[in-house]
Structure 1
């Protein structure tokens, strides 16, 4: 644990490579856009009321005119981002880091004197610790747990640094965060999509609570994902391999496992003469986990975000999966052609794609038209992987799409400018950014 403690407490801004800094700024902007769009969901409205009732305080909440405690603000922010499945992730963890890290960091940074370098260095620490904890958990536990089971460890590491915990307190905080992290079963959420989502809100809550408890003298069980000899190799390259550079960014607000299939059908839609109205059947060939996204006619936005058939149908209509497609509206879930095409999707599991998961996620599609003509795609991966990245301009455009109509143009521009230049901000400007991030969305 000694080297982990030193990384948490002694990492300095000048030790961060330039590409790591730029990636941290990109993560900051991308998560912010998802948080704004999350306010479209019913889940966010339920959590906003719950948190302000049960966790009252004076900490700003993301894009809300209400306030909560440190724990409440972190819980709300993570649930808000998680409510719209468009946030960054990492293939080896099969889950998400930033969704818990950013809200906890912003809540803890409120009224603290952090400049941009301190803010982003803390963010990077959260990504590096949480990603390794996620990889370690998959190696040491037989069940597939949600992201909240391990991303709270990154939250605890980040806040242990901000609150200047001792090494002993830090170890207790990390152990408590791991022990109380929600080891909820991810495939239950896949098979039965509801508002429980990926557990990240409770991961954020566990991480923040663990630090506050450790500071008060609370002791926690040793963190297996950090201490076990069986995972020691995962931690040996701290400060050398930067996992934040291996995050993917989502082009669409649906489960990552569905997105290779989305790209496969999008490639066919570009063919001259292709008409969605003339589609007779859609055959998708992918890995096992993707075929578990089996909901055909989603009735809620949660079901839509975990539906491969609905995602593919939306891509055939819109050439993408836009936030409106997963909204509980006649134009979204109730769109007649979306529903018709969703029922034309047949999913097929292949051993070849199974063998490449989780490090790689692939799919291809075969579309049969009413006249008997067939279209077959090339094998496809999702947009936004490190090997198939979204450019900074594309991420900015995604941010603009997600925030369109929800924030004033001046607010959107100010947030974009401050996020993409966060490294150069002084402490007063960081507080200005935090204030902008509490701008209430339009109802």
Structure 2
């Protein structure tokens, strides 16, 4: 497929007529993102994000799971920040980042979304994954620096917004160019070394994508999006509409950086009698360079905890799990603090060579009674080749959403599960601020 044909595909593909398998996978992504967004409302980001958005981006679009309204740009920014606040959302190995975290807020931001059928909503979400993922792969192939997800998921948001605004192919071209040129080229490893609330740049990616489409609608021009139009990356886009990266996203089992999750699986693979916190002398973790950079031993914030390999290992050892409470309410747990201080991280040349397509870790557990337990090399669960089951994803959704939404969590689950039989509006009215629903949703 040529560059022009690729742009035509984005403009002309009919979202409501995608294969059932694509729509079903889009539902899984949608439900997972909504669960993460609901769970993230319990993080410290919630209040300042809402205040800033309403003060600086006032408007009439509802905020995702928050009181108040903002402009489309503000709603997109807020939603991206919110989902990114709890590092449990989907991603893709070759992009080394996340598409859905910006795509869903971007899709929810424009008032035109209210007129969509449920199938059209799912189809546009699926389209966004195709564009954003390819843009991410292309950017990594052509840039010497490792940029945050917002640098490329902005293009997926721009494409979805362009479809919602019914932009022609010329304006779509300009929207993609604006989104790429002004997307946040923030340095990823800096936010790994120094985790903050703003994380992976995806809030800015959602904002940039919406802004780009609105600017293009008003006849602003943009330089060509090189990650979509350069001959160097033509092969990335050649199979658009044939190879579906939507099915190559991973789902997280734990609300921590993907790079720490192989270490959690390695710990949990050890015999139960080996995982006795009181007997642990120290833990050696052999992993790839990027995971070693998750170096914070005693996190003081949830962001530091989500980006901490020692803390993730400590939680897995102490509790046999890593859940949202581990990275929010348990930061002063003396047992976790002690275990995290006994984690020693080694860099593995073999595991470095496999990154980013594969992420592997092996652990060796030394006990005070002289016993030593070594895991097999492990990778995170939730990849296309070792997927989380539908039951596991459902359980994850309810664990994150139900404490915040109560009975509404089930209504959202049922609506998403049968979204082809609903309008997008039926879902949107369920995504307002936590608390009793006052609108008639039937």
Aligned to 1:291: 292
Inter-CA distance 441–40: structure 2 relative to 1 (3 Å threshold): farther
Structure 1, unaligned runs of 5 or more: none
* Runs of 4+ that moved beyond 6 A: none
- Give the TM-score of the pair, scaled to structure 2: 0.96
- Deviation of 1:63 after TM superposition, in Å, equals 0.7
- SS for the counterpart of 2:83 is helix
Instruction: Give, in whole Å, the separation in 1 of the partners of 2:420 and 2:236.
Output: 28
Instruction: Give, in whole Å, the separation in 1 of the partners of 2:19 and 2:370.
Output: 55
Question: Which residue of 420, 431, 434 corresponds with 1:437?
Answer: 431
Aligned to 1:280: 281
Matched, 1:351 2:345: no
Task: Tell me if structure 2 keeps the 8 A contact 1:59–1:110.
Answer: no
Moved more, 240-249 or 398-407: 398-407
Instruction: Give, in whole Å, the separation in 2 of the partners of 1:303 and 1:335.
Output: 15
Instruction: Give, in whole Å, the separation in 2 of the partners of 1:265 and 1:152.
Output: 36
Aligned to 2:440: none
Task: Tell me if structure 1 keeps the 8 A contact 2:36–2:397.
Answer: yes
Matches within 5 A, 1:96-175: 96-108=98-110, 112-175=114-177
- Deviation of 1:39 after TM superposition, in Å, equals 0.8
Aligned to 1:185: 187
Task: Tell me if structure 2 keeps the 8 A contact 1:283–1:367.
Answer: yes
Q: Deviations over 1:19-38 (max 9, x none)?
A: 22111000000000000011
Question: Which residue of 68, 72, 75 corresponds with 1:73?
Answer: 75
Instruction: Give, in whole Å, the separation in 2 of the partners of 1:144 and 1:376.
Output: 33
Aligned to 1:224: 226
- Deviation of 1:273 after TM superposition, in Å, equals 5.9
- Count residues in correspondence: 434
Matches within 5 A, 1:9-408: 9-13=11-15, 16-108=18-110, 112-268=114-270, 270-272=271-273, 274-327=275-328, 329=329, 332-408=330-406
- Deviation of 1:4 after TM superposition, in Å, equals 2.0
Structure 2, unaligned runs of 5 or more: 437-442
Instruction: Give, in whole Å, the separation in 1 of the partners of 2:358 and 2:186.
Output: 24
Task: Tell me if structure 2 keeps the 8 A contact 1:93–1:138.
Answer: yes
Task: Tell me if structure 2 keeps the 8 A contact 1:181–1:202.
Answer: yes
Aligned to 2:439: none
Instruction: Give, in whole Å, the separation in 2 of the partners of 1:273 and 1:261.
Output: 15
- SS for the counterpart of 1:355 is helix
- SS for the counterpart of 1:405 is helix
Instruction: Give, in whole Å, the separation in 2 of the partners of 1:111 and 1:373.
Output: 59
Task: Tell me if structure 1 keeps the 8 A contact 2:16–2:120.
Answer: no
Task: Tell me if structure 1 keeps the 8 A contact 2:16–2:123.
Answer: no
- Deviation of 1:2 after TM superposition, in Å, equals 1.6
- Deviation of 1:156 after TM superposition, in Å, equals 0.3
Task: Tell me if structure 2 keeps the 8 A contact 1:176–1:220.
Answer: yes
Task: Tell me if structure 2 keeps the 8 A contact 1:63–1:441.
Answer: no
- SS for the counterpart of 1:249 is coil
Instruction: Give, in whole Å, the separation in 2 of the partners of 1:392 and 1:224.
Output: 38
Aligned to 2:411: 414
Inter-CA distance 319–274: structure 2 relative to 1 (3 Å threshold): closer
- SS for the counterpart of 2:167 is coil
- SS for the counterpart of 2:110 is helix
- Give the TM-score of the pair, scaled to structure 1: 0.96
- Deviation of 1:15 after TM superposition, in Å, equals 5.0
Instruction: Give, in whole Å, the separation in 1 of the partners of 2:183 and 2:158.
Output: 11
Instruction: Give, in whole Å, the separation in 1 of the partners of 2:372 and 2:34.
Output: 41
- SS for the counterpart of 1:193 is coil
Instruction: Give, in whole Å, the separation in 1 of the partners of 2:16 and 2:29.
Output: 19
- Deviation of 1:139 after TM superposition, in Å, equals 0.6
- SS for the counterpart of 1:313 is helix
- Deviation of 1:404 after TM superposition, in Å, equals 3.1
- Deviation of 1:80 after TM superposition, in Å, equals 0.1
Task: Tell me if structure 2 keeps the 8 A contact 1:151–1:200.
Answer: yes
Instruction: Give, in whole Å, the separation in 1 of the partners of 2:82 and 2:435.
Output: 13
Task: Tell me if structure 2 keeps the 8 A contact 1:64–1:441.
Answer: no
- SS for the counterpart of 1:112 is helix
- Deviation of 1:6 after TM superposition, in Å, equals 1.7
Q: Deviations over 1:296-333 (max 9, x none)?
A: 00000000000000001001112111100111x3xx10
Instruction: Give, in whole Å, the separation in 2 of the partners of 1:18 and 1:109.
Output: 26
- SS for the counterpart of 1:363 is strand
Task: Tell me if structure 1 keeps the 8 A contact 2:81–2:198.
Answer: no
